[in-house]
Structure 1
Amino acid sequence: MQTTTKNIATALLVLAGVSFTSCAKFLEEEPKSFLAPENYYKTAEDAFIALTGAYDALGSGGETYIARRLQYLTWFTSDEALPPTLTAEKPLDEFSYVSDNDDVSRVWNSMYAAINQANIVLNRVAKINMDENLKTQYLAEAHFLRALSYFYGVRLWGDLPLVAKEVTAISEVDIARSPISDVYALIISDLEFAGLHLAPSNQNGRARKGAAKALLAKVYLTRASSAAKQADDYQKCADLCNEVLTMPEHVLLPDYEKAVGGEDEFNKESLFEWQGDRVLTTSSELSILGSFSLPRGMYVIPGQAASDGGSIVSEVAYFNRYPDNDYRKECTFYISGPDKNGNTITWQQLAVPYPSPAKKYINKTSTTRDAAAFSGNFVVLRLSDVYLMRAEALNEISGPTADAYTMINAIRGRARKRNGTNPSATPADLSGLTKDSFRDAVLNERVLELGFEGHRWFDLVRTKRLVETIRAIHPTYPVTDKNLLFPIPANEIKLNPKIIQNPEW
C-alpha cells in the first residue's frame, strides 16, 4: 500500500520524538529509546541526534530516496539506463507510467519526510540552550539538507507545497502548491545561509561550505532556463563556481578512476556524498546501486557471481556515446571480465547482455559483496561538475570565452591521463567553437564525465532535450513534453483538494 500525505504527517509526528542511532563513520551514539517531543530537544546531544535524523532521511535503507528510488525515477526516464529485470520499473523506462506509479509516490513521500526532518532541526534546535557556534553549524546543515530535497522536488514536479516548518498536525499538510519562483526563493535562502555559516571542512558525510556553494550554483544554472529565471542567474552560477574552485579544500584528482568509488569515498574532489555504507539499523544503510548494476555472469569478485546483477544496465546508445579510447569509459563500465571458468567474456556475452555501469558504485578492492564492505556512496556533487557548470554559464553569458575553454579542457585534460600519469592523445582540447556548438560540447562532456551520477535526466530537462533524445533511440516510446515533469502522486490529489495535477497527467 502506498503511503499517503496524511499517512506521512502521522509518521512525522511520531518521528519528531524518535531519536536515531548514528552513522558508522559519521555520528557514533548509542541508540536512544523513544522520547516524547516535550521531553526531548533539550540538550546539545539531542540537537546532534536530530541532525542525524535529517541526514538519515536522505536514504534510510536501500528502498528509499537517494539510496535507490530517485535513481529509478531519473535514470530509467533518460537515455542513460534501463531495468531489464525490474518489472515494476519498466513503465518508467517505456514512458507508460501513470500518477499512481509506486516509485513516483515513494520519492515524493521520502522527499517530504526528509524536508520535515530538516524542519525539526530548524524549529527545535534553534530553541536549545547550547553553544551558539555549534548550534549555527547544525542549523546550516539542516538548511542545506532542506534545500537539497526541495531542489530535487522542484525539478521533478515543478510547483510544490512549501512546508517550511515542522509538521505538528495532520491539518498542516493540506496546502496548495506554490509556484516554482517561491520554491527557488526558499532553496536559495537556505543555501545562502548554509554557504555563509558552514565550515570549509566537516566530518565525512556532512555538508560543508563548498557543497552549499556548488549546490547553489547548480540551482542558479537550472533556474536560468526555467519560467522563474532571473537575468543574473548565469552570472551568479559562474561566480559561485569560481568560489568553489578556488577553495583549497577541494581539488580535481589526477586520476579520474579515483574520483568516484567505494574505495575512494570522501576524496578531495568530492563535495557531498550520501553515505551508502553506514549502519543505522540492523539491515544497514546500504545502497543497491552497486549490486544491481553488476554484470550478471561476470565474476568481478573471484568466486562470487552477481545473481542480482543486470537489474540496472546502460542503454547501448548511451554506452556508445563514450569513445573507445576515452579513459572514462573503462572507469565507468565493465566491458569485459572473467566468467566462472576464468575465461574472458565481453558484455555482449553476459546473462543480461547490456553494458554494466557498476564501477562507480562498488568497492573494487573488496573481496566480498557483504553489505558495507562492498557498496560505494552516492556522490551528489563533485568538483568536476563545478568546472562544467562554470563553462556552461560563461558560454551562456558571453559565448566560449578563454575561461570557459579552460574549464572544459581541464576536465578533458584529466581524462587524457590514465592512472593519473600515463598521457593519452584523447580527448583533445576544444577550440574554435561557436556558442551553440560549445553548449553541445559541454552537455556531451557531462555525459562522459558524470555518467550514472544522477545528472543526466535533469540536464536533458533543463536544456529541453529530453523528448528528442528519447525519440532518437526509442522512436515508439510515447514521450512528450508532459514528461518534463512527473505527475503528482494520485493519492496526494485524492487526499488534498488544494493540490492540482501537472498538465496532461
Structure 2
Amino acid sequence: MKHIFLCILAGVLFTSCSKFLEEEPQSFLAPENYYKTAEDAFIALTGAYDALGSNSETFIARRLQYLTWYASDEALAPTLTAQKPLDEFSYVSDNDDVSRVWNNMYAAINATNIVINRVAGITMNDSLKSQYLAEARFLRAMNYFYGVRLWGDLPLVTIEVTSLSEVDIARSPAADVYGQIIEDLNYAAERLAPTNQNGRARKGAAKALLAKVYLTRASSVAAQAGDYQKCADLCSEVIVMPQHTLLPDYEKATGAEDEFNRESLFEWQGDRVLISSGEHSILGAFSLPRGMFVVPGQAASDGGSIAAEVDYFNKYPDGDYRKQCTFYTSGPDKNGNTITWQQLAVPYPSPARKYINKNASTRDAAAFSGNFVVLRMADVYLMRAEALNEISGPTADAYTMINAIRARARNRDGVNPSAIPADLEGLSKESFRDAVLNERVLELGFEGHRWFDLVRTKRLVQTIKAIHPTYPVSDKHLLFPIPANEVKLNPKIKQNPEW
C-alpha cells in the first residue's frame, strides 16, 4: 500500500515508481483547491469507477482474474510464463500479479475515499450528492471485499491519503474489515436508486453484494450468528425487484452483445473496440482458441493464454446447454476444416464464449469488447439456496432456487428444450451443499467466483490435489501473501502465516 500511495501522491499512478522512490518528495497537491462544484464531484466519482480498470491494465478484468482463475481448478496459463507460478502454486510474496492487485485495489480505495471525504462538503443538489456518496461507498466496499478474501486482515483506510504520514498503518482484523464493508453497503443499499446509468451501482447491486458478504463471512473467522439468514433475506429482496430477473436464455446473460441486461446487477464496462487508450478487457482475447477462426474472414485466433483445465471442462455434462455457451469446443481452421479443441495449437478447451462479441465483424471488436459481470441474478438464486440449506437443510424454497437455474438451462435458447439438467430432489443437507457448489461451477464458470467458492468452503487444497497431486498447494494458499515490497516499506505490516 505504501508503494502505491507513493505513486498516487507523485501523480504517476499506473506507471513505474522506481525512480520516484529514489528521491525525497518535496510537495503534494493541495486538495482544498479542488472539489468545489457538482462537476468536480462527478469527476471524482468517475475516477473511482475508472480505478477498476485503465487501458488493458485492468484490476477486476485482468489481474484479479489471473490470481483467482489460475490459482483454482478453473484455468491454466499455457503461454504466459509469468503466470505459471500462480497455476502451479509456486508463487512467492514478490509475485508481480499479487503486487499489482494489491496496489490496484488500494488505488481504487483511495479514489473512493476522495469522493466520500470531499464530496460531502460540496454545495450541490442534495439528492445527487447522496447518490454519488452511495456509489462511492459501494465501490469501496467491493474493493475491500475482494481484499479481505484475498489477504484476510487488511490496513483499513477510510480517509483520503494526502501525505506519507497516513500510510504506515497496521492490518486491521478481518472482522473490522467486514464491519466496514457491511456499513458501506448498508449505506449504499439505503440510498441508491433501483436504476442508474449503465456501469454504475444500483440498489439491487448493493443488496446482492451485501448478501455475498454475509454468505462469505458466515464461514470465516469473523462469522457472526445470523449471517446466513441475512444473506437469504437480502437475496429474496433482490429477487422480487422488478428491475431484475433471470433471462430465459442462459447465453444472453453474459457477452458483449448482451451487456447490461436485466439479469446483470453490476458489471465493469470495457470499450466496444480496441483503441489506443481507454478500457478494454483482455479476457476474451487471451482465452480465444488459438488457430481457430472465431470471426469468419478474419485472422485466426491467437489466444490460448487463458485456457480451461480439462478437469473443470469435464464437470459440464455434454447435454448441458451451459457447456456450449461457455466453451469453444470446435470451429473452422484456416482451410475451413472443422477442428476440435484437442487439435488447437494450444490444446485446451477455450472459455472465450462469455467474453467475446459474437455479433462483431472484426476480430478486435470480438476479442476486446466484453464487459466483466461482477454480479448477476443467477448468483443471487444460488446464494439464497446455499444459505437456506445451511440454516435448516434443503427446504422447498432452497429447491425452488436451484431448480430455477437448472430449468433455465434445460430451456436452452427456447428451441428444442432438453431433459438435462433434471430438477434436484431428496438430497441430504451435505449432498445439497455439494450440489449448490457444483451448480455454481456450471452456471458461473469463468465469472470470477470459483477460487472464492473453494476457499470459503475449505475445498481449495483437496480440489487442486485431486487433479494435480504434485502441486505444493497447502492451507497457506487460502490467503495470498502480502506483497514483499509492502512488508519491506511498512514496518507495521506483518506477513500472512507461512509466507
User: TM-score category by the smaller chain?
Assistant: over 0.9
Pair 411,233 (structure 1): closer, same or farther in 2 beyond 3 Å: same
1:32 maps to: none
CA distance, structure 2, for counterparts of residue 141 and residue 279 of structure 1: 27
2:4 is aligned with what amino acid? I
1:351 aligns with 2:328: no
1:428 maps to: 422
CA distance, structure 2, for counterparts of residue 298 and residue 273 of structure 1: 28
1:360 maps to: 354
Counterpart of 1:388 (choices 365, 375, 382) is 382
CA distance, structure 2, for counterparts of residue 147 and residue 280 of structure 1: 30
1:176 is aligned with what amino acid? A
2:61 maps to: 67
1:140 aligns with 2:134: yes
1:407 maps to: 401
CA distance, structure 1, for counterparts of residue 55 and residue 68 of structure 2: 19
Q: Which runs of 5+ in 2 are unaligned?
A: 14-28
Residue correspondence of structure 1 range 102-501 to structure 2 within 5 A: 102-277=96-271, 282-370=276-364, 374-501=368-495
C-alpha displacement at 1:331, in angstroms? Answer: 0.2
2:2 is aligned with what amino acid? K
Task: Please provide the CA RMSD for this pair.
Answer: 1.7
Percent identity for Structure 1 against Structure 2: 81
CA distance, structure 1, for counterparts of residue 8 and residue 189 of structure 2: 28
Q: Which runs of 5+ in 1 are unaligned?
A: 18-34
CA distance, structure 1, for counterparts of residue 290 and residue 498 of structure 2: 39
1:51 aligns with 2:30: no
1:10 aligns with 2:6: yes
CA distance, structure 2, for counterparts of residue 123 and residue 10 of structure 1: 20
2:394 is aligned with what amino acid? P
C-alpha displacement at 1:38, in angstroms? Answer: 3.0
Question: Which one is further off, 35-44 or 392-401?
Answer: 35-44
C-alpha displacement at 1:60, in angstroms? Answer: 1.1
CA distance, structure 2, for counterparts of residue 280 and residue 331 of structure 1: 24
C-alpha displacement at 1:281, in angstroms? Answer: 8.3
1:159-181 deviations in Å (ceiling 9; x for gaps):
00000110011121100000000
C-alpha displacement at 1:459, in angstroms? Answer: 0.1
C-alpha displacement at 1:307, in angstroms? Answer: 4.9
Residue 423 of structure 1 aligns to a residue whose secondary structure is: coil
CA distance, structure 2, for counterparts of residue 130 and residue 279 of structure 1: 36
1:103 is aligned with what amino acid? D
C-alpha displacement at 1:7, in angstroms? Answer: 3.5
CA contact (8 A) 2:78 2:346 kept: yes
TM-score normalised by structure 2 residue count: 0.95
Pair 332,78 (structure 1): closer, same or farther in 2 beyond 3 Å: same
Count residues in correspondence: 485
CA distance, structure 2, for counterparts of residue 192 and residue 62 of structure 1: 32
C-alpha displacement at 1:65, in angstroms? Answer: 1.1
1:164 is aligned with what amino acid? T
Residue 273 of structure 1 aligns to a residue whose secondary structure is: strand
Pair 251,83 (structure 1): closer, same or farther in 2 beyond 3 Å: same
1:63-105 deviations in Å (ceiling 9; x for gaps):
2311200000000000000000000000000000000000000
Pair 439,181 (structure 1): closer, same or farther in 2 beyond 3 Å: same
1:388-408 deviations in Å (ceiling 9; x for gaps):
000000000010000000000
CA contact (8 A) 1:75 1:452 kept: yes
2:489 is aligned with what amino acid? L
1:42 is aligned with what amino acid? K
CA distance, structure 2, for counterparts of residue 255 and residue 416 of structure 1: 10
CA distance, structure 1, for counterparts of residue 88 and residue 368 of structure 2: 31
